Amino acid sequence: MISAAATAAASSTGAPVIERRRRLSPAALAVTNQKVRPAYSPVVITGLVRIADLVLVNLIGIALYFGYVVRGDTPTWEYLAAIFAMSVATVVAFQAVDIYQVQAFRGQLKQFTRMISAWTCVFLLFTGASFLAKLGGEVSRVWLSGFFVAGLVALIGERVLLRGLVRQWARDGRLDRRTVVVGADQSGERLIAALKAQDDSDLAILGVFDDRNDARALDSCAGSPKLGKVDDIVEFARRTRVDLVLFALPISAETRILEMLKKLWVLPVDIRLSAHTNKLRFRPRSYSYLGEVPTLDVFEAPITDWDLVMKQLFDRVVGALILLVASPLMALVALAIKLDSDGPVLFRQKRFGFNNERIDVFKFRSLYHHQADPTAAKVVTKNDPRVTRVGRFIRRTSLDELPQLFNVVLKGNLSLVGPRPHAVQGKLKSQLFDQAVDGYFARHRVKPGITGWAQINGWRGEIDSDEKIQKRVEYDLYYIENWSVLFDLYILLKTPLALIKGENAY
């Protein structure tokens, strides 16, 4: 870490400022230096398998119907309706026999036995229904038999392929829930031992953290090393993927837990409190379970699973359409910049991304090239002499932000809507933003955006007061807690009206 005086001195001399990074223990660094691939959501995987089953059964039934029953005649809606109903019934039956789980996909005999039983029940149900409706003579027995056999073969083949994929993903760590435990004492050791004793667990215990240095704190818990203090968890989670923070402390340690939560809630991870040793018991519905270990949910990572898929699709599809429509305007702006002053048209600036990741954000250059400020160490103010003639116009209208569509569509490190990505050296009265307002880094629990809830409510442009940065953080946190695709669409549609006002943009 560097002192505030050193930071100020470096800024005044134009020297690059060293980013503040907390030192980690050798054990923690050994974990963060491991190559970790992005995780796949089990919820999304099982959802996609359901869709695949629905589509596969429909395609087989329809192909056999047109290939054997119709043969050039006019198709009837009764067969098509029956095929669709049977495909839906198949998915429901598979759900009932509990084979839509990632753990079930890894197995073989048990999964296939349940699948064959459920598939057979669907056909028996259809046969009984057609008999009761006196439609038995109108249903082709050859088609029905072929549908049963071909469908079963296709479903088994699909599951064999899926089994191979899931096992490969498991070997790559894509299905692991990378977990750290808070509490390196006997309670933590019992918790980790209980978690590791479970078969087919998706938890990967990375280690434990504890502030205590007395005899109660162990150097390792059930084979998991102590990685550092609780204050180290934030830096640790920004250097490697962490999915879950699990407290092994008893509920009676309320004061200690609250102090720790104030430090950790800024992370985009699930935070739970273990209840496996607590004498105080709640109703079963109050718990969520890690295998058989009961836990109490404290914080959940925002925008996950299908919500994340929907947001990414929204960003890529809508972003590509906006980029296509805005291309002529962007070409004109680029030409104006080139004719107005020397230097490149585009400008890259270091900004905070998801989970404090440093990303390069593209903008149209609005400052004179020799006065470029890639870290935004000096805020652009009203009538700033560094801003070009064209730069004043594109900054006031936010046209300088249009190249960030490349970040959204091509690089994927920005969203269309989200908290605005501030520069890594953005300051308020010589203080970095995270020093000026509590909970600032909680904005980075989601991917930043080109526009956001704070911007359309007037909190954009220069930050020269405590109120402006505080309001931005408040509006950003409201957006994170209340996100939906419709909310994104509403913000996107309101953005042009907010830009017309041109408030606080210099």
pLDDT in tens, 318-373: 999 999 999 999 999 999 999 988 889 998 888 889 998 889 999 999 888 877 76
Percent of residues, the chain, with pLDDT higher than 70: 87
DSSP designation for 15: P
- Note the pLDDT of residue 460: 75
- Note the pLDDT of residue 437: 81
Q: What is the mean pLDDT of the chain?
A: 85
d(CA 210, CA 190) in angstroms, rounded, equals 15
- Residue 434 reports pLDDT greater than 80: no
- Rounded average pLDDT over 418-439: 78
Residues 284 and 312 both lie in one domain: no
Task: Mark which of 156, 171, 186 sits at the end of a domain.
Answer: 171
Q: For residue 345, is it within any domain?
A: yes
- Note the pLDDT of residue 315: 96
Domain containing 100 equals 42-171
Q: For residue 102, is it within any domain?
A: yes
- Note the pLDDT of residue 375: 64
- Note the pLDDT of residue 36: 92
Residues 427 and 320 both lie in one domain: yes
- Percent helix, strand, coil in the chain, to 5, is 55, 15, 35
d(CA 330, CA 400) in angstroms, rounded, equals 9
- Note the pLDDT of residue 308: 95
Q: For residue 29, is it within any domain?
A: no
Strongest mean pLDDT among 284-298, 299-313, 338-352, 381-395 = 299-313
Residues 163 and 181 both lie in one domain: no
Residue 459 pLDDT level (bands cut at 50, 70, 90)? confident
Cα dihedral: 371, 374, 380, 386 (round 10):
10
- Note the pLDDT of residue 8: 40
Say how many Å lie between the first and final Cα of the chain, rounded: 33
Residues 292 and 371 both lie in one domain: no
Q: For residue 18, is it within any domain?
A: no
- Residue 377 reports pLDDT greater than 80: no
484: phi then psi, degrees, rounded to nearest 5: -160, 165
- Residue 11 reports pLDDT greater than 70: no
Which is nearest to 273 in space by CA: 177, 202, 181? 181
- Note the pLDDT of residue 350: 86
Q: For residue 4, is it within any domain?
A: no
Ranges 33-37, 378-382, 387-391: which has the least confidence? 378-382
Q: For residue 30, is it within any domain?
A: no
- Note the pLDDT of residue 431: 72
Task: Mark which of 255, 272, 299 sits at the end of a domain.
Answer: 299
Who wins on pLDDT, 117 or 11?
117
Residues 249 and 334 both lie in one domain: no
Count of domains for the chain: 3
Residues 335 and 475 both lie in one domain: yes
Residue 14 pLDDT level (bands cut at 50, 70, 90)? very low
Residues 489 and 372 both lie in one domain: yes
Within 13 A of 484's CA, how many CA atoms are on the CB side? 4
- Note the pLDDT of residue 69: 80
Residues 226 and 166 both lie in one domain: no
Residue 67 pLDDT level (bands cut at 50, 70, 90)? confident
- Note the pLDDT of residue 262: 86
Percent of residues, the chain, with pLDDT higher than 90: 49
pLDDT in tens, 442-455: 999 999 999 999 98
- Note the pLDDT of residue 106: 85
Which is nearest to 301 in space by CA: 489, 170, 481, 37? 481
Residues 218 and 260 both lie in one domain: yes
Residues 383 and 343 both lie in one domain: yes
- Note the pLDDT of residue 6: 38
Task: Please tell me whether residue 384 adopts helix, strand or coil conformation.
Answer: coil
Q: For residue 5, is it within any domain?
A: no
Task: Mark which of 139, 171, 203 sits at the end of a domain.
Answer: 171
Q: For residue 385, is it within any domain?
A: yes
d(CA 80, CA 61) in angstroms, rounded, equals 8
- Rounded average pLDDT over 5-12: 40
Look up the pTM and report it.
0.84
Residues 189 and 279 both lie in one domain: yes
- Note the pLDDT of residue 3: 38
> Residue written as tokens 């290939």?
67
Residues 344 and 487 both lie in one domain: yes
